[in-house]
Structure 1
Amino acid sequence: MDLFHKFGVNPIILKSKSYIKGRGAQQNVPNKFLQNIYETRDDFLEFCRIEGEEADKNKTQYIPIFPKTIVNKVNSPDVGMAYSMNPYQGCEHGCIYCYARNTHEFWGYSAGLDFERKILIKKDAPKLLEAQLRNKRWQARTIVLSGNTDCYQPAEKKFEITRACLKIFLKYRHPVGIITKNALVLRDLDVLKELAKDRLIAVNVSVTSLSEETRRILEPRTTTIKKRLETIRVLSENNIPVNAMLAPIIPGINSHEIMNLAKAVSDNGAKSFGFTVVRLNGAIGEVFTDWIRKTLPDKADKVLHQIEECHGGTLNDSRFGIRSRGEGKIATQIHDLMRLARHTYFKNKSFPPLNHELHEQFKDGQLKLF
């Protein structure tokens, strides 16, 4: 028995004493759009200690917002969707690598802890969606729920905005995609099954690792790996097509799991899979670097250098067509493994196209007879 296990210490996860449990980000990084910076000073922390007060309650806030539209056109050629909608901004899942963190700065918040603790709620989303689908100029194109933040994050259990939107899609027979890493999607199995009858639904389930230890530090408030694989299985058994998102692949953290990940999602019924190589754009580079030095200090330099090797020596590459794929030897190895995994476990599988032909007949909310 080695010394790590003798003394009950996990050799992989060596968190610092200041680690904030249940969160991904470990600080609020400055918002580049704001002139003033808020910081928690040591003298304030000492005052709280002496007075027996909590300096940070680490609570999640739900903040209602009222956008004028809900469906967004996606211009990026790397994303693979034409339109998206997000019932929530910010995400309590707390995935440390999440590219959506930067969008929280547009609302005046930090891409760090604020992104996980200040969740913006769009209660009018179903009404706005219905107006979009009834618009005479609108032609059916797949709209993806969660193009930015997870539509089945914990807030959905309370507000049920995603469920209400799915009922709108069903009413107007409009194709919809879902991206999630939460088993809460199974709550809406009744609506999903109705959509599936007319080939109007596709679900993308993210599976980043098969290790619970890795999941807990990368994605602290997400569904367990066991539950995620079960979600793929249940959806597939109900004829709801599932694409697994093995993303992002982070060199030195989950890159060694590629073949096992592909086999696991295939065995549970996924019809296809996609992947990206991690990139730490904008404020995410600082958030991730701070996190890994506190969470995996012994591996931090190695992981950061390998990510940099995939992006020309930096943590981020903004070039379309390359930024999510990476370049160099490590990225090439990842792509080679993905090709092998696809050939080995998905050789006779294909993802079915969605039906865009019904919506025009149901544009008024009921079938047109003439």
Structure 2
Amino acid sequence: MTTPNGSDDAGAGRPLKGRGALSNPAKRFDRYHTLREDDGWCSPAAETSVATDVRPEYAKSIIARNGSPDVPFDQSINPYRGCEHGCVYCFARPTHAYWDLSPGLDFETKLFYKANAVELLEQQLRHPGYRCKPLVFGTNTDPYQPIEKFYQVTRKLLELLYARRHPVSIVTKGGLIERDIDLLGAMAKRRLCSVMISVTTLDSELKRRLEPRAAAPQARLKLVEQLRGEGVPTGVLMAPIIPMINDAEIETLLRRCSAAGALSANYILLRLPLEVKSLFYEWLRAHYPQRAEHVISLIRQSRGGADYQSAYGTRMRGTGVYAELIAKRFALARKKLGLVPRREWELDCSQFTAPPARELQLQLF
């Protein structure tokens, strides 16, 4: 059945094993979509899981430039499109619509790795007009999501950056970063590396529902401890803070992160751009039906009566009484623990050397 401007209800309202989204909403660029109907003759068994499909992408560029005044970096790299962690609140989900895929289950099951990432980065670093500034990994999708174990795009990019003495910052909630602690420690000794670990909750059950394939809370605290043990400047990011879901954990979470060795801490209030709104509300009503409407009310109170504010300066923090209360609580807890707001540590750009130009003769083959 095809209907205009609706959503694919396959799996709607039924949590799937290891997945955050409950459905595949229609892409905002679609005029039509399919809707499954049971005619009573044959009722197939409901799906309990969805397999991950990974495909290569041959990108045209690898460094993304940032012009947003409320994001503390100028350029970033995202080795993957889509993210298997399955965080239902992820603000990057709507980008999958540009691939004619749904921001729902497609975002966490139909993934792309940038097969030519290292070659592109080498080319861009070699360009005469390139100016060295810290590169940030993990600003859109996680560089240490599970498929990195096989494809190792992040590792290969870091090896190139270390060889060229180029500074890098990483934001992740993936336990696979432990594999690269040796490399990150070596970079940190030259003031070429810093890391922010995203710690959303200390509740393992909430983590399983909210971020099904991300590292466990205790594993993330352990990562902070291990990174600090190797001398890597490491902070934590409580992102997002969700009303009546994880906001009660602010003080305890920061205390545990500080004890693990974190140097800084910051937060982001829940953001619900475009399709993320319907995906999150569907998740909320399925997992927390009795408090769902109260949570939605608080979200709207902190967004000027709307579901989301996209304006610079307010999109990360929100407005209103609830948003102000969260800001004050977080700032007070951070001050008591001696943590500083998130900032770029003094990474050294002066050591950078561009890759040598390749022989023209070799470029012919």
Question: Which amino acid is 1:353 matched to?
Answer: E
Tell me, yes or no, if structure 1 residue 102 matches structure 2 residue 94: yes
| TM-aligned CA deviation for residue 292 of structure 1 | 0.8
Q: SS in structure 2 opposite 1:222?
A: coil
The normalised TM-score by structure 2 is 0.90
Long gaps (5+) in structure 2: 1-11, 358-365
1:65 Cα deviation after fit: 1.1
**Structure 1 portions without partners, runs of 5+:** 1-15
In structure 2, the partner of 1:237 is 229
Cα deviation, 1:264-313, whole Å, max 9, x if unaligned, reads 11111111011111121100001001111111111111111111111011
Q: 1:285 to 1:276 in 2, by over 3 A?
A: same
Letter in 2 for 1:21: K
Matched residues in 1 for 2:321 and 2:81: separation?
36
SS of 1:48's partner is coil
| 1:69-103 per-position Cα deviation (integer Å, ceiling 9, x unaligned) | 01000112222221111110000101011000011
Q: Does 1:185 align with 2:161?
A: no
* Equivalence for 1:36: 32
Which residue, 246, 256, 267 being the options, matches 1:275? 267
2:83 to 81, 91, 110: 91
Paired amino acid for 1:356: C
Q: C-alpha distance in 2, partners of 1:220/1:126?
A: 29
Within the candidate set 345, 348, 351, 1:358 is matched to 351
Q: Distance in 1 between matches of 2:32 and 2:72?
A: 37
How far the C-alpha of 1:46 sits from its partner, in A, is 4.2
Identity %, equivalent residues: 37
Query: Relative to structure 1, is the Cα distance of residues 45 and 23 closer, same or farther in structure 2, using a 3 angstrom cutoff?
Result: farther
The aligned residue for residue 172 of structure 1 is 164
Q: 1:23 aligns with which of 19, 25, 29?
A: 19
Separation in structure 1 between the aligned mates of residue 49 and residue 257 of structure 2, nearest angstrom: 38
User: Structure 1 residues 114, 271: CA separation in 2 closer, same or farther (over 3 Å shift)?
Assistant: same
> Is 1:344 the equivalent of 2:336?
yes
TM-score by length of 1: 0.89
Residue 119 of structure 1, aligned match among 105, 111, 115? 111
Which of 174-183 and 78-87 deviates more? 78-87
| SS of equivalent to 2:133 | coil
In the other structure, the counterpart of 2:137 is: 145
Shift of 1:38: 3.1
Distance between the aligned counterparts of 1:311 and 1:17, measured in 2? Answer: 26
2:4 alignment counterpart = none
Match of 1:65 among 57, 81, 103: 57
Q: C-alpha displacement at 1:56, in angstroms?
A: 7.3
1:307-349 per-residue CA deviation (whole Å, 9 max, x = no partner) reads 1111011111111111111111110110001110111112589
The match for 1:305 is: 297
